[in-house]
Amino acid sequence: MHVIGGTASTALAERISRELGNAPFGIPFLKRFPDGEMYVRIGGHLEGQDVVVVQSTPNDAALLELLLLEDAVREAGAQRTFVVVPYFGYARQDRRFFPGEPVSARSLGRHVALDADAVITVDLHSPTTLAQFTKPAFEASGIPALARLLRERPIDLLVSPDKGGIDRVRRMSQLLDRPWFALEKRRIDSDRVELNLPTTEIPAFAGKHVALVDDVITTGGTIVEAAKLLQRHGVGAVSAACTHGLFLRDAFERLKAVTDEVYSTDTLENPAEKASVAPDIAQILQREFGSK
Ligand code: R5P
């Protein structure tokens, strides 16, 4: 297999190539035409080869680059193209909330799958999006990568900031053999949330080191409010761990002010990226498609 790393996922792509037994690895040449249009060019002898294109899509430029890379790989005569989208943008618009809206996750799933033989992604916002790719699609989880890291840290208890994250925190609790509970969350608007302790019985956390576990940190609002709530109730220390660290605007600084440590995986390049999903992605590639 050859691995090509798009500009949003260069380091992770290189880690994946190492996990695939030092598979040949390359990065594209990119420039903009005078009118602003994007130009990409890939190197290497890809004819008849299996090629893995790795590119997260946290913004429109990254998405466009991915589509152009897929076409370049096809033009180069690859036998099969496996597209790895570690962070799949637009996944939150996974249904039509108001009349006149698109189902963005479905639209982009179709387009990304067009020149792919298979798609691999990590912790999608909603599992239903996997069916939208129109080609075989696989979802890795960021939880094992975070667990490999947190196992080395003195964490006593795991907390999900909302009920939607129960499966994730439960899986982490099994891997680390630590108790867990979920907070009650009500979203006020895209920047503000209200969090409360559940009314059911929960493990005692006063004086303990709690790790908040979430799939994505965007504005940081959820984790900041969760950390403050736990602190008001006497928690000893709070860490935050997420698969996708978008950290918009000043999110990272706000998080650092209320937590002891922030961890994310490398699905997005950011200052908290301390756990790699490369082994988990390579495992899916090897299990499903062997190596060539
Ligand atoms: C919600 O469903 C997600 O699991 C995250 O809790 C949420 O998207 C985080 O967003 P923010 O960092 O903006 O609060």
End-to-end CA distance of the chain: 5
Taking the centre of ligand 1 as the mean of its atom positions, its distance from the CA of residue 162, in whole angstroms, is 9
**pLDDT per position as a tens digit, 161-204:** 999 999 999 999 999 999 999 999 998 887 788 999 999 999 99
In ligand 1, the atom with minimum distance to the C-alpha of 217 is 12
* Extents of the domains making up the chain: 2-142+277-289, 143-275
Mean pLDDT for the chain?
A: 96
Is 39:32 a contact under the CB 8 Å cutoff? yes
Per-residue model confidence as pLDDT tens digits over 227-284: 999 999 999 999 999 999 999 999 999 999 999 999 999 999 999 999 999 999 999 9
The response to whether residue 268 sits with its C-beta less than 6 Å from ligand 1 reads no
User: Please, which pLDDT band fits residue 127 given cuts at 50, 70 and 90?
Assistant: confident
pTM, rounded to two decimals: 0.95
Q: Is the pLDDT of residue 292 over 50?
A: no
In the annotation, is 185 catalytic? yes
Architecture of the domain whose range is 2-142+277-289: 3-Layer(aba) Sandwich (3.40)
**Which residue bears the tokens 């499966």?**
167
CA distances from 106 to 70, 90, 128, 135, 267 (A): 18, 9, 9, 12, 21
Q: Is residue 54 within 8 Å of 5, Cβ to Cβ?
A: yes
- Domain 143-275 class in CATH: alpha beta
Report which of 69, 76, 73, 78 is spatially closest to residue 8, judged by C-alpha positions. 69
Q: What is the pLDDT of residue 291?
A: 53
CA of 153 to the centre of ligand 1 (A): 24
